[in-house]
A and B are shown apart, each in its own frame.
Chain A
Amino acid sequence: MRRRSSAIVGAAETTELGEIPGLSQLGLHADAALNALADCGLRPSDVDGVACAGESPTSVAHLLGITPTWVDGTAVGGCSFMLHVRHAAAALEAGLCKTVLITHGQSGRSRVGAGGFGFSPASLQGQFESPYGVMGPPTLFTIPALRYMKDFGLTHEQLANVAVVQREWAGRNPRAMYRDPITVDDVLASRVIAWPFHLLECCLVTDGGGALVMVSAERARDFPQRPVYVLGTGESVETPMISQMEDFTTSRAFRVSGAMAFAEAGISPRDVGHLMIYDAFAHLPIYGLEDLGFVPRGEAGRFIWDRHTAPGGRLPLNTNGGGLSYTHTGMYGMFALQESVRQLRGTAPAQVPDLEISVAHGVGGMFAAAATVILTNER
């Protein structure tokens, strides 16, 4: 794809975040969509491309009164919205549509109008994983970590410290759900969920949503907000079964997606001023930093411990507080994108100064899928 051929011109989250019992999952999509359209001065009737996950684009388009000429219902988990950005950029460049709306809404906490969990007992997961006592992401996403800890010497304290540093960022963000400072000892003293993971090393479970509006770069300056251009993107999938991941110490999907995005953008990790790595659990930023090439293999725990990703560090990471402290509806990727956009507009609560390039990297399922979006505010 051509660099900077499209831009994000509208971006917003749901009016509220956290506990929203008064809106269904579909209602959260709509609330986020209306906020993002207001952000760029458009109405639903101006939209001709719709992408979403969790709900069908048919449902979202009909609810909002949109007649699309392009839809994308790619749903590969929490990074789906990063894939939507990538697909929308291609569709805009190909002329399949002119104005794309990407929506996320999830009633993860209140479970109002939300879909069910679980696998069919005849699926491969149902036959070969579910019988062993797995109870959702806290028992699946976490399984590779112990292998990584043994192979690379990552300590329990270094793993806990990921949550500590992200809480520092959350403390600067009034919309973050948890803002009080925590220590490594606090994390290790919190309830064990799935050893080696404690409660504070697991993401929140909240209600909320977000939406983005994308147009071609030629039109991007016609809107009230500073445009955020798409510089490079990547996507991949590996396996729906965590037990079948090729290597428990590195994600193939992360590596493929990241390398593709950096090659397309024509930059290296050294050029990146701000980074979002989807953090459903504390080990994910460690895998992400290494698999995207920011830190050599086995060194990310120490890198975070040495405060390089903390406020004042050279690589600000998860500056909204992340899924561990800001919010996590279930498919968090939209919130990582929203923070990258805020940072590049210069409107983030914990603003990184003089920023030009931000990377938002997402995971889907349990290391099952990945997508990487590199954004810039420089035309």
Chain B
Amino acid sequence: MSDKPAREQRRPRPVPTPETREFWDGARAGELRLQRCRACRRAYFPPRPFCPRCASREVETFRASGRATLYSYVIHHRPAPGFTPPYAIAVVALEEGPRMMTSLVDVAQTPEALVLDMPLEVAFLPPDGEIALPVFRPASGARS
């Protein structure tokens, strides 16, 4: 464990595996990439080289719309490396169906500002090494 204050530490950085490489390559290129099954057409996440519904290995990667809605969240009030509390830890429902955990940016981290089912759009944090982390912000049409 480091004794550096939390603000000087960075977020935990993902280490891609062969199965997730395309996702992280996409994120660095500013694309949110999902996978879908060529047999049953269902989109899914997290990445794997087969369909979690029908087990077909005939799957493809595609660029998702980046549109989502806020499914649920907590606002954490304790310190964490790379974060200044309080900050939201959210789960969003992507337009294509799958859900993913994320951070919410360009919005106050308060219950008043974070309303369930609000429309969101993907953004990417500045790269940390090879990782550009996808996060979500209020959809441009919905921002006041």
Point out residues on A near B: beta carbons under 8 Å.
120-122, 124, 126-135, 138-139, 142-147, 150, 191-197, 241-244, 248
Contact = CB atoms under 8 A, between A and B. Distances in A.
B111 A128 contact: no
Given A128-B46, A132-B103, A143 B14 contact: no
Contacts of B86: 192, 195
B89 interface: yes
Contacts of A130: 12, 14
A134 B77 contact: no
Interface in B66-117: 71-78, 80, 82-83, 86-87, 89-91, 99-103, 111, 116-117
Contacts of A134: 80, 89, 101
Given A122-B15, A126-B12, A243-B100, A133 B76 contact: yes
B11 interface: yes
B65 interface: no
A153 to B, nearest CB: 13
B74 A196 contact: yes
B133 interface: yes
Given A146-B116, A193-B77, A193-B78, A131 B14 contact: yes
Given A128-B100, A145-B72, A192-B86, 17 more contacts: A126-B12, A127-B15, A130-B12, A132-B101, A138-B76, A142-B74, A146-B72, A147-B71, A191-B77, A193-B77, A193-B78, A194-B89, A195-B74, A195-B86, A242-B91, A248-B72, A248-B91
The binding surface of chain A is classed by DSSP as mixed
B72 A147 contact: yes
A239 to B, nearest CB: 10
25 contacts: A122-B17, A126-B15, A127-B17, A127-B20, A127-B24, A127-B46, A128-B101, A129-B101, A131-B13, A131-B14, A131-B131, A132-B101, A133-B80, A139-B89, A147-B72, A150-B116, A192-B75, A193-B77, A193-B78, A194-B77, A195-B86, A196-B74, A243-B99, A243-B100, A244-B45
Q: Chain B: interface residue count, which band? A: 35 or more
A195 B75 contact: yes
A193 B91 CA distance: 18
B76 A127 contact: no
A258 B116 CA distance: 30
B11 A133 contact: yes
Contacts of B90: 132
Contacts of A143: 72-74, 89, 91
Contacts of B72: 143-147, 248
Contacts of B133: 131
Contacts of A133: 11, 76, 80, 82-83, 87, 89, 103
Contact of A243 (B75, B80, B101, B103): B101
Contacts of A132: 11, 89-90, 101-103
A244 B46 contact: yes
